[in-house]
């Protein structure tokens, strides 16, 4: 193993907004583990060792030009750790100075793309424009500046026409960009009708539960049980049962 990078899986960031390129750590063959630190715009600003001590720092201009510094903020000509992840969590190509954004490379010196947008005019009439000239935006795919990928309190939402919120995640071009926090997201909850039966009397009834989309039917309905002797059906009944109120 020369280098191994670790990014979060959905189960590791449950309840926390996560960006697709939010690196956790890197292991190498020395062996050494270095942890990544990001700012509010997902720029990787420092790496630390397993003790939490800063090993190296990074600064960026609005369009991704990187300045490498040691732990004491002294400017370096190159990374002592061969570190390539930087601007908005993207990979820097040391030889060309460009930034890899999947579909395209970004030229930080020019502040734009060197080649045309594959999605044509998704970002306006300028096919080489980066982030719609707003560095607070994100574009991890090199296709569309995600001006609407914002965190609102503890939830997230997509800008109309750019990205889709499905089951509590924001998706652009088939790639999950953000996992929304559970708390407060209108797209993260569902209302479920729960079907119950009581074998001792042959009775059935229903309750209504509101829960997060990633919660199973049984977990969602459990707290709404009419009583200890009522059992939850795994699916709605296919024929009529006498319906009574829970006693």
pLDDT exceeds 80 at position 164 = no
Find the range with the poorest average confidence among 71-75, 86-90, 178-182: 178-182
Mean pLDDT of 44-71: 94
Beta strands in the chain (DSSP E): 3-6, 18-19, 25-28, 32-38, 44-48, 54-60, 66-70, 75-76, 91-92, 99-101, 104-106, 150-152, 155-157, 164-166, 169-172, 175-179, 189-198, 203-212, 231-232
Range of 179-183, 206-210, 212-216 with top mean pLDDT: 206-210
Q: What is the pTM of this model?
A: 0.58
CA distance 87 to 97: 12
Q: Specify the pLDDT at position 122.
A: 65
Q: Specify the pLDDT at position 199.
A: 87
Q: Specify the pLDDT at position 235.
A: 60
pLDDT exceeds 60 at position 95 = yes
Q: Specify the pLDDT at position 145.
A: 67
pLDDT band at 14 (very low <50, low <70, confident <90, very high): very low
Bridge partners, residue 182, by sequence:
none
**185 near 168, Cβ under 8 Å?**
yes
pLDDT exceeds 90 at position 69 = yes
């Amino acid at each position: 193993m020369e280098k191994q990078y670790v990014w979060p899986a959905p189960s590791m960031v449950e309840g926390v907004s996560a960006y697709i390129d939010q690196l956790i750590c890197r292991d190498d063959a020395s062996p050494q583990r270095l942890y990544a630190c990001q700012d509010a715009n997902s720029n990787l600003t420092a790496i630390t060792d397993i003790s939490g001590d800063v090993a190296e720092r990074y600064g960026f201009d609005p369009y991704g030009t990187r300045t490498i510094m040691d732990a004491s903020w002294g400017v370096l000509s190159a990374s002592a750790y061969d570190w390539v992840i930087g601007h908005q969590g993207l990979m820097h190509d040391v030889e060309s100075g460009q930034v890899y954004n999947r579909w395209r490379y970004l030229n930080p010196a020019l502040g734009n793309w060197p080649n045309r947008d594959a999605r044509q005019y998704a970002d306006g009439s300028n096919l080489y424009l980066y982030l719609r000239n707003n560095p607070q935006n994100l574009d991890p795919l090199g296709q569309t500046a995600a001006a609407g990928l914002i965190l609102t309190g503890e939830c997230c939402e997509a800008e109309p026409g750019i990205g889709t919120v499905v089951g509590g995640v924001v998706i652009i071009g088939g790639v999950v960009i953000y996992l929304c926090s559970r708390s407060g997201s209108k797209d993260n909850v569902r209302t479920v009708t729960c079907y119950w039966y009581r074998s001792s009397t042959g009775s059935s009834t229903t309750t209504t539960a509101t829960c997060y989309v990633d919660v199973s039917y049984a977990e969602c309905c459990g707290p709404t049980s009419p009583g200890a002797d009522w059992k939850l059906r795994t699916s709605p009944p296919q024929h009529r049962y006498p319906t009574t109120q829970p006693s």
